[in-house]
Amino acid sequence: MRLVVVTGMSGGGKRTAMKMLEDAGYYCVDNLPVQLIDKFIELVGGRDMEFSKVALGLDARADMPFDKVVEALNNIRKNAVRLDILFLECNDTVLLKRYKETRRMHPLSGNGRVEDGIAKEREILREIKAGADYVIDTSNLLTRELKEEIDKIFVEDKAYDNLMVNIISFGFKNGIPQDADLVFDVRFLPNPFYVDELKRLTGLDKPVQDYVMGFKEAEQFLDILESMLRFLLPNYIKEGKNQLVIAIGCTGGHHRSVTLAERLYQRVARIGNYGITITHRDVRVNR
C-alpha cells in the first residue's frame, strides 16, 4: 500500500491537493484524529479493506496534539507501508491575501490576528516539514499547475526535487516583481518595439523570437544563465529553499523579456526534476 500524508500551511491548498489525489484513484480521508491514525492504517491495509493507494490529510489545529502526528508517522514507516509526506508551503503574504479574500478565520488565530495564527502554525509544523518527502510551494501556482505537480509525483512516479522555479517576464516601466529572487535585465538587446512589423507582436510570436534570438548575445546570455542555475538550484535545495522566482525584464515586458523567459523555461525543464512555471506579467499570458 502507498500512503500519502498531505499536510502543510492552512490556506496552502491541502484540500485541493486531496481532491486531486482522490481523482487520481487514492482513497482519501481528511482530518483524522491523531489517536486513530495507527488503527486507520491497519484497517485500510487489512485483507477485508485493502487499498493500494491511500491519502490522509492532516491539519495543525488547536485541539490536536500535532507532535503526536510525527510520532505516529515514524511508527508507520517501520512497517511495510510506503509512506510519502507531502507538505504544501505558501508564503505569508499570499496566505494573508487568501484569508482576506475568503473571509475565513485561521484555525489557530482564535479571535486574534491571522498573522499570529500563521506564525504559530509554522512553528508547530516545523518538524514535519523538515521530514517531508515532497514540499510544494503554492504561492505562485495556478490550480492546474498544482495538479501537474501532483500527477507527476503521485501518479506518474516521476522524481521531484522539492523546488518550484517560477519564471516571470516583466517590464521595468511597470515595476520589478516584488517576490523576485533573481532579476535579470535584458535591455542590452536591440528592442523589437522599434521595428514596425514587430511593434504590435510579443515574444510569444515567432517573428519576434527570431529577431531577438538572431543576436548572438541572446544565446550567450542564456548559456551563462543556464550554467549559473545548474550551480544554484541544487544548492538552494540544500539550504531548504522550496521556491525560486526568476524575473527577466525589458522596457515594456512584451518582446525581449518574453522571448528569453520562454527559452529559459525550456532549458530549466531539461536540467533537473524541478517544478516549473512561466508567467508573462505584462502580456497576461501564463502557462
Query: Is residue 80 predicted with pLDDT exceeding 70?
Result: no
* Cβ atoms of residues 29 and 21 within 8 Å: no
* Cβ atoms of residues 163 and 242 within 8 Å: yes
**Are 133 and 174 within one domain?**
no
Give the span between the Cα atoms of 5 and 181, in whole angstroms.
30
**Are 142 and 200 within one domain?**
no
Is there a domain that residue 37 lies in?
yes
pLDDT digits (tens, 9 = 90+) for 198-249: 999 999 999 999 999 999 999 999 999 999 999 999 999 999 899 999 999 9
User: Amino acid letter at 130?
Assistant: A
Residue 87 domain boundaries? 2-154
Give the span between the Cα atoms of 156 and 204, in whole angstroms.
30
What is the rounded average pLDDT for all residues in the chain? 90
Q: What predicted TM-score, i.e. pTM, was given to this entire model?
A: 0.81
Least confident of 37-51, 91-105, 165-179: 37-51
Query: Is residue 287 predicted with pLDDT exceeding 80?
Result: no
Of 100, 125, 154, the domain-final residue: 154
**Are 83 and 128 within one domain?**
yes
pLDDT digits (tens, 9 = 90+) for 187-212: 999 999 999 999 999 999 999 999 99
pLDDT reported for residue 84: 93
Q: What CATH number is associated with residue 21?
A: 3.40.50.300
**Are 112 and 218 within one domain?**
no
* Cβ atoms of residues 179 and 139 within 8 Å: yes
| Domains identified in the chain, total number | 2
Is there a domain that residue 159 lies in?
no
Query: Is residue 102 predicted with pLDDT exceeding 90?
Result: no
Give the span between the Cα atoms of 275 and 98, in whole angstroms.
22
Radius of gyration over every alpha carbon of the chain, rounded to an integer in angstroms? 22
142 CB neighbour count, 10 Å cutoff: 13
Is there a domain that residue 123 lies in?
yes
Query: Is residue 88 predicted with pLDDT exceeding 60?
Result: yes
**Are 229 and 199 within one domain?**
yes
Give the span between the Cα atoms of 256 and 259, in whole angstroms.
5
Give the span between the Cα atoms of 167 and 76, in whole angstroms.
38
DSSP 74: H
**Are 146 and 195 within one domain?**
no
* Cβ atoms of residues 221 and 260 within 8 Å: yes
Average of pLDDT values for 70-93?
85
